[in-house]
Structure 1
Amino acid sequence: MSAGVFCTREVDLADADESVRDAAARMRDRNVGTLLVLDEDKMPIGILTDRDLTLRVLAGGLDGYQTRVGDVMTSVPATISEDTSLDSALGVMRSGPYRRLPVVDAQGALVGLLSVDDVLDVLADEFRQIGELLQRESPRSLANP
């Protein structure tokens, strides 16, 4: 199970030169908590989260119309390759701590975004399948075929 299989492929983007007010409005309109910033080669150079907006802009007393995304984004975010296992991806998330990781191809270009929620969905499905297997093979079900 690799990150490239389970990541979200449609990723919302921001421009480093746009105002955080415009970026926040996009987050609201798209119902997302993260925008990625890419360079001209489609490589991630920054990530802007709703937490960044809260802690760096609002709590910092910055003007959302004057402050640029590039001023408050997390620059050069940690990335994982599309063939990274989900277990390894979780290790990177725990070490950060990161809740979302850009997934990149062999050239470093963006493929998608893997979130903790994506991994939890996969694990929940795995546990459900294990539960069904155990239920089918329980002593009670074996005694009453």
Structure 2
Amino acid sequence: MLVKQLLSMKSGSGKPGIEANSIVTIGPDATLGEAAVLLAEQRIGAVVVSTDGKRPEGILSERDIVRQLGRNGIKVLSQPIGEVMTRAVQTCTTGEDALTILERMTEGRFRHMPVVDDQGLMLGVISIGDAVSGRLKELAAEKEALTGMIMGS
């Protein structure tokens, strides 16, 4: 399954992150407190950090916020996201294989990945859950095809 197919599966789900105008982003000057509110309101685990809302500059996850709280206490909620976000954002394109993306996420120990076009503009965001769901659908289809072959259908 391709990343393009993962995005199309999400488009009917009502989840944010499908079209460029619905990708949840936040600016690097916003605070961790503001990011926490946004994550809670949108019911998402990470937010893409972007000044223009089109190109990813970083990514901030719930884990990032919790780690900062654990290290430095509640005062970090007024800290700018730009000081905490992951700057080396892993991205993918629509033509990449979902299994490869799943392996990259697992090896890198991250759960969210912006999907970009050839110019680096965001097309959507996929999560490790999206990749797992896509893989399970593939496996179910393979099982059905093999069962049909064995049964002579």
TM, length-normalised to structure 2: 0.79
SS in 2 for 1:103: strand
What are the residue-to-residue correspondences of 1:65-144 with 2, within 5 Å? Answer: 65-138=77-150, 141-142=151-152
1:62-83 deviation digits (Å, cap 9, x = unpaired): 5144211111111131111222
Structure 2: 5+ residue stretches without partners: 8-16
**Superposition RMSD in Å:** 2.1
- Relative distance call for 1:71 and 1:31 in structure 2 (3 A) is same
- Once the two structures are TM-superposed, the CA of residue 4 in structure 1 deviates from its matched residue by 3.0
- Relative distance call for 1:39 and 1:18 in structure 2 (3 A) is closer
Out of 20, 33, 41, the position equivalent to 1:29 is 41
Normalized per residue, the structure richer in helix is 2
How many residues are paired up? 141
1:57/1:72 contact within 8 Å kept: no
Structure 1: 5+ residue stretches without partners: none
Range moving further from structure 2, 51-60 or 18-27: 51-60
Matched-pair identity in %: 25
2:3/2:94 contact within 8 Å kept: yes
Residue identity matched to 1:2: L
Q: Which has the larger radius of gyration?
A: 1
Give every structure 1 segment of 4 or more consecutive aligned residues whose post-TM-superposition deviation is greater than 6 Å. none
1:41/1:109 contact within 8 Å kept: no
